[in-house]
Chain A
Amino acid sequence: METIPLNSPDKEFIREVQERSGQNVLSCYQCGNCTAGCPYNFAYDLSVSRVMRLVQLGQREAVLKSHSIWLCATCQSCTTRCPNSIDVAKIMDVLRHMAREAGYATERNVKAFGDAFLESVEKHGRVYELGVTASYIRKTGRFWTDVDLAPAMLPKNKLSIKPHEVRGKEHVSAIFKRFRERDTAKENS
Chain B
Amino acid sequence: MSISVGYYPGCSGSGTSVEYDKSTRAVCKKLGIELNEIDDWSCCGSTPAHTVDHTLSAALSARNLVLAAKQGQEEVVTPCPSCLANLRTASRKIEDENYRPKVEALLDEPCDEAASVASTLQLIVERVGMDAIKKAVVKPLKDLNVACYYGCIMNRPPELMQFDDPENPMAMDDIMEACGATVLPFPLKVECCGAAAGMPKKDIVTELSGRLLDVAESLNTEIIVTACPLCQMNLDLRQGQVNRANGTRYDIPVVYFTQLLGLALGLSAEEVGLSKLVVDPTPRLRFAGVL
Q: Which residues of A approach B to under 8 Å, CB–CB?
A: 39-40, 42-43, 71, 73-77, 79-80, 87, 89, 93, 96-97, 100, 107, 109-110, 112-115, 117-118, 121, 125-127, 129, 133, 136, 145-146, 148-149, 152-153, 156-160, 164, 166-169, 171-172, 174-176, 178-179, 182
Q: Is B184 interfacial (CB-CB < 8 Å)?
A: no
Interface residue? B113 (CB, 8 A): no
| B11 contacts A126, C-beta separation under 8 Å | yes
Question: Contact: A148 with B241, CB < 8 Å?
Answer: yes
Contact of B48 among A73, A117, A156, A160 (CB under 8 A): A117
Which of B25-33, B39-47, B121-129, B261-269 forms part of the interface with chain A? B39-47
- B153 CB within 8 Å of chain A: yes
Of the 9-residue stretches B131-139, B170-178, B194-202, which lies at the interface with chain A? B194-202
A8 CB, nearest partner CB in chain B, Å: 29
| A73 with B196, Cβ < 8 A, contacts A121-B42, A121-B45, A178-B106 known | yes
Listed in ascending order, the chain B residues whose CB lies under 8 Å from chain A are: 11-12, 14-16, 18, 40-43, 45-56, 59-60, 63, 105-108, 152-153, 156-158, 166-167, 190-192, 194-204, 207-208, 237-238, 240-241, 275-276, 278
Query: Among B11, B42, B191, which residue has its beta carbon within 8 angstroms of that of A172?
Result: B42
Q: Tell me, in angstroms, the Cα distance from A179 to B62 when the chains sit together.
A: 14
A120, chain B: closest CB distance, angstroms: 8
Task: Out of A73, A121, A159, A171, name the residue touching B194 (CB < 8 Å).
Answer: A73
18 contacts between A and B (CB under 8 A): A39-B192, A73-B192, A73-B197, A74-B50, A74-B153, A80-B167, A93-B51, A97-B53, A107-B201, A112-B200, A113-B199, A114-B51, A118-B48, A121-B45, A136-B199, A176-B56, A179-B56, A179-B59
Given contacts A172-B63, A178-B108, contact A43 B204 (CB under 8 A): yes
Given A164-B11, A167-B40, does the pair A175, B47 have CB atoms closer than 8 Å? no
For residue A164, which residues in chain B have a CB less than 8 angstroms away from its CB?
A: 11, 14
Q: Are A152 and B237 in contact (CB-based, < 8 A)?
A: yes
B153 touches A76 (CB 8 A): yes
Separation in Å of the A100 CB from the closest CB of chain B? 7
Q: Which residue of B lies closest to A97 (CB)?
A: B53
In the complex the two chains form, what is the Cα distance from A107 to B56 in whole Å?
22
Q: Is the CB of A166 within 8 A of B42?
A: yes
Q: Are A158 and B16 in contact (CB under 8 A)?
A: yes
Residues in B whose Cβ lies below 8 Å from that of A160: 14-15
Complex Cα distance, B152 from A113, in Å, reads 21
Residue of A100, A152, A156, A175 ringed by the most chain B CB atoms within 10 A: A175
Assess the B43–A121 pair: CB atoms within 8 A: yes
Complex formed: what's the CA distance from A85 to B49 in Å?
A: 24
Q: Of all chain B residues, which has the CB nearest A79?
A: B157
